[in-house]
Amino acid sequence: MKRFLDLADFSREQILDLLALAQSLQDHPQPRALAGKILGLVFLNPSLRTLASFQVGMSRLGGDSFVITPGQGTWQLETRLNAVMNGAAAEHVREGIPVLASYCDALGVRAFADGKALQSDLNETFFGMIDGLCDKPLINMESAMNHPCQALADWRTLDELRIPKRSKFVLSWAYHPKPLPLAVPAAILHMAAMRGMEVVVARPDGFALPPQIMAKARVAAASAGGSVNETSDRTEALAGAQVLYAKEWGSTLHYGDAQGDSRLRAGLADWCVNERWFTGALPDAKLMHCLPVRRNVAVADEVLDGPRSLVRLEAFNRLAVQMAVLHRMLA
């Protein structure tokens, strides 16, 4: 495996193989599998789980890693092609990425959406550039519109809990003071569709996921025997739900327009998940969230601290599935 950028690049069988490898590495540790191998980790944005779990994953497999955080101890990186670099950035990714790639055996890169032009972010303009500059195996540690490591971990969590494939999986918008990227909702939507679930996206008007993202998920759902729908009616969405996956994201109607987004979300603070949301759901319905989560803003304490919450387990599973990805790439 040379690239791990998008679950959609793999067949369902390949994903199931990766998940089986994750389980196998947990049952039968291979502490020398990646001896002598080095993973470079480039974080253009903050991280806790990804930062810790990728380093640990390499350690647990006998390899090593290093971390580069542009702007903090490292030069700020320019990303625009043909830029006249007379601003804050001292180095261009066109130099930075190939150089870092030359030092390691695989590279992980985190680069959030630019958040200005929707089409450019949908095109993964920046990550596409990274892809072209990196001649070593490359891992997407969250890009403009994807977060395949999170999606794979969540798939494993659903499997571990024996959540039936045909059950109802509600991906719901949740409140946040700022417009967050679409990477996680897009990746999780695709994952649930690819797993064959009955997926419903619940979001207020103005927060619909882009048609391209929805269409891509519908193709995956059709192939896996599931479905993808969307609604702005939370009660309808949650009726009979087995899983509520809460996630904050920005308005797609006002993409790149902070004021427009702000006006739209001003009245939506009640999109903070609490126990009442689960009234019409299955009795043992679960709450998922990729973390970090703003308590009592996106999800109430009562849910996060109650028996529905899978959020810690999801985070634990990041390590397991990423070890499988690293093993497949480097062993």
- Which residues make up the interface to a copy of itself (CB under 8 A)? 31, 35-36, 38, 40, 43, 46-49, 51-53, 55-56, 59-60, 64, 66-70, 72-75, 78, 82-86, 90-92, 94-96, 98-100, 102-104, 177, 291-297, 301, 304-305, 311-312, 315-316, 319
List, as one string, the DSSP characters of 120-187: HHHTTHHHHHHHHH--S-EEESS-SS--HHHHHHHHHHHHHTT--TTSEEEEEE---SS---SHHHHH
**What is the distance in angstroms between the CA of the first residue and the CA of the last residue of the chain?**
10
**Measured distance CA(126)–CA(179) in Å, rounded:** 20
In the complex, the smallest distance separating the C-beta of residue 223 from a copy of itself, rounded to whole angstroms, is: 33
d(CA 24, CA 19): 9
Rounded distance, CA 182 to CA 266, Å?
Answer: 19
287 is written with which tokens?
């709450």
Q: Are residues 242 and 167 in contact, defined by beta-carbon separation less than 8 angstroms? A: yes
268 DSSP 8-state letter: -
8 Å CB contact between 194 and 224: yes
CA angle (20 as vertex; 187, 312 as ends), nearest 5:
55
